[in-house]
Amino acid sequence: MNVATQIAFARRFARRTFRLPMTIQATVLSKDAIRFEAEIQSPEAEAKTIVRNRTYRWLRHSRMMLVDLVLLMGVLMQLGVASSLHRYGKTMSDWLSGVITVRDVVLVLLCAALWAPILWTVGLYRQFNFSSLMRRVLLAAVACSAVLWGVCRWLRPETKLDLAIPVFFASALAVLFAPRILVMLWARSGFAESRVKRDVVILGSGNMAQQMAWQLRHHASEEYRILGFIDAPEHAGDRMHLGSYLCSLEELESFLMNNVIDEMHIALPVKSHYGEIERAVRLCAIAGIEPHYPAELFSTDVTKGIHSEEGRVVLRMTHRDSRWLLKRALDVVASGLGLLVLSPIFLAVALAVRLSSKGPIFFKQTRYGLNKRRFSMLKFRSMVVDAEQRQADIEHMNEAGGPVFKITRDPRITGVGAFLRKTSLDELPQLLNVLSGQMSLVGPRPLNERDVHRFSELHLMRRFSVVPGMTGLWQVSGRSNLEFSQWIELDLRYIDHWSLKLDLRILLQTIPAVLRGRGAS
């Protein structure tokens, strides 16, 4: 592992460490990465890491939403008071003696009710660095200003908003940034004195123990002083880079009696050390010392996050956070607008399909969606009516590798159907599937039953762990010209690296790909 890789690895690890509670971390550092963290990072760099962790932990706390809402409501009310005084030439005492209308109260409360989910959805309480904080504060200010404009147009259509909305936007930026800057300043100064100080020992001395020691030293809200490691003598050696060897497992009882210890953190493999762990927990209970052990017993290379729910540990195999609400909102808004704007094209295509050949306008086919749930995917019919019954007769003409079926010049395609496929107009009815939640604008393409029944490897099933889409990485990377293995590789890459930015990029790249008709069949 070279230095650049180690640095990138360390940064990812620091972000993951702060994002999840200490008891449910699943990231496993290699021995080399641990040595890099322990030996290369200077005390100054380590201090900066701790400050950054504790700063963003506070900024991601739910109480920040309450602060934001109170400040935004204060800005709104102050803006309303200033506007009223200016319009009617009143003094402040005159305004205070007046009567606040019901519409004014409803306007403020409705804005607050809409702002709360917006602030959460844009990821304002999920930032991990200053650049992401700036972007999300800007996005939150824009969204809150748009909500205010809409609510005012509905409840107070007579109000002039030419100046009010820009003023509110600027004020929202200020009040959203101000408390965060104060938290950052506080984290660099007074917060260090208020941190809870704990003396801990770690049961184990291997890679898991070294990882746990690194996490504890960089904990955001508490200051852990690591006394050392407890393990069998033969396991103690040069691997302990973040503490010293204390005693063996057999000497644990005596050690607990003669030392001041607040917590014991267990970092032994459960499968091979179950008896030792059980004895250590029992001794901690007798001595009144808190035992801590990781909630995760298993993890995988594709695990995106670990969550504790009602005493259960859940391994998230896909990205699932507030961004999914934005993704769903984008699907609903875009598909709804698409159906409305494209309705003349729908009508023209429907007439062309009806007049060109016998059969229904729409073609319904059972496809596999999220978690292999079947649904009926809609298309404008581009083939003859009995196309599915005739497929068995032309299986020998299949040009695609793997379980999928593709023919460049399929004899079942009608004249109008060839044009629809070339221009992807046959896919437009899937906007109805998107609106209903069966599909998304972006995601792996849903496969039919015939193709899925021919899957022979379990890892292919992971493409069904997200909602299928109208377009995806395959669409902008060659479309039908790609081999099946490349399809799967792109699908899994999309699942592993999903982001809203990636969705928007794919949508923008889909337009020229469709216009060129590249790879369509």
pLDDT in tens, 241-264: 567 888 888 888 888 888 888 888
List, in order, residues 6 or more apart from 260 with CB less than 8 Å away. 199
Mean pLDDT of the chain: 77
Which of 71-80, 246-255, 508-517 is least confident?
508-517
Measure CA of the first residue to CA of the last residue in the chain; give whole Å.
44
Segment 389-410 shows an average pLDDT of 71
- Please tell me the predicted confidence (pLDDT) of residue 444: 92
Residue 20's pLDDT band (cuts 50, 70, 90): very low
Is 47 buried (19+), middle (13-18) or exposed (0-12) by CB count in 10 A? middle
Which of 82-96, 314-328, 382-396 is least confident?
82-96
The pLDDT > 90 percentage for the chain reads 16
Find how far residue 143's CA is from the centre of its chain: 19
Segment 96-100 shows an average pLDDT of 53
Question: Is the separation of the CB atoms in 239 and 31 below 8 Å?
Answer: yes
List, in order, residues 6 or more apart from 220 with CB less than 8 Å away. 18, 50, 53, 54, 56, 57, 58
Question: Is the separation of the CB atoms in 217 and 46 below 8 Å?
Answer: yes
Segment 453-466 shows an average pLDDT of 85
- Please tell me the predicted confidence (pLDDT) of residue 38: 42
Closest by CA position to 27, among listed 207, 189, 174? 207
87 pLDDT more than 70: no
- Please tell me the predicted confidence (pLDDT) of residue 390: 75
Q: Give whichever of 14-23, 29-38, 203-212, 478-487 has the largest mean pLDDT.
A: 203-212
Segment 337-344 shows an average pLDDT of 92
Which of 30-44, 57-71, 103-117, 458-472 is least confident?
30-44
* Partners of 377 in beta bridges: 365
Residue 311's pLDDT band (cuts 50, 70, 90): low
Segment 285-314 shows an average pLDDT of 73
Q: How far apart are CA 205 and CA 324, in angstroms?
A: 40
Question: Is the separation of the CB atoms in 325 and 121 below 8 Å?
Answer: yes
The angle formed by the CA atoms of residues 298, 299 and 300, to the nearest 5 degrees, is 140
- Please tell me the predicted confidence (pLDDT) of residue 39: 44
Q: How far apart are CA 249 and CA 201, in angstroms?
A: 12
Q: Give whichever of 43-47, 69-73, 376-380, 409-413 has the largest mean pLDDT.
A: 376-380
Segment 355-375 shows an average pLDDT of 90
Closest by CA position to 409, among listed 424, 425, 421, 423? 421
Segment 478-487 shows an average pLDDT of 69
Residue 11's pLDDT band (cuts 50, 70, 90): very low
Which of 1-5, 21-25, 429-433 is least confident?
21-25
Helices (H) and strands (E) in the chain, counts: 20, 11
Per the structure block, which two tokens stand in for 480? 């039908």
**Dihedral, CA atoms, 202, 207, 213, 218, nearest 10 degrees?**
-160
- Please tell me the predicted confidence (pLDDT) of residue 379: 93
Q: How far apart are CA 426 and CA 417, in angstroms?
A: 8
Task: Read off the amino acid at residue 218.
Answer: H
Q: Give whichever of 16-20, 185-189, 333-337, 455-459 has the largest mean pLDDT.
A: 333-337
Q: How far apart are CA 126 and CA 325, in angstroms?
A: 14
477 pLDDT more than 60: yes
Q: How far apart are CA 19 and CA 60, in angstroms?
A: 9
Residue 82's pLDDT band (cuts 50, 70, 90): low
Segment 125-145 shows an average pLDDT of 83
Closest by CA position to 465, among listed 324, 352, 333? 324
Question: Is the separation of the CB atoms in 60 and 21 below 8 Å?
Answer: no
476 pLDDT more than 90: no
- Coil vs helix vs strand at 18: helix
349 pLDDT more than 50: yes
- Please tell me the predicted confidence (pLDDT) of residue 435: 94
Q: Where are the beta strands (DSSP E) in 404-519?
A: 440-442, 469-471
Q: How far apart are CA 511 and CA 509, in angstroms?
A: 6
- Please tell me the predicted confidence (pLDDT) of residue 42: 54
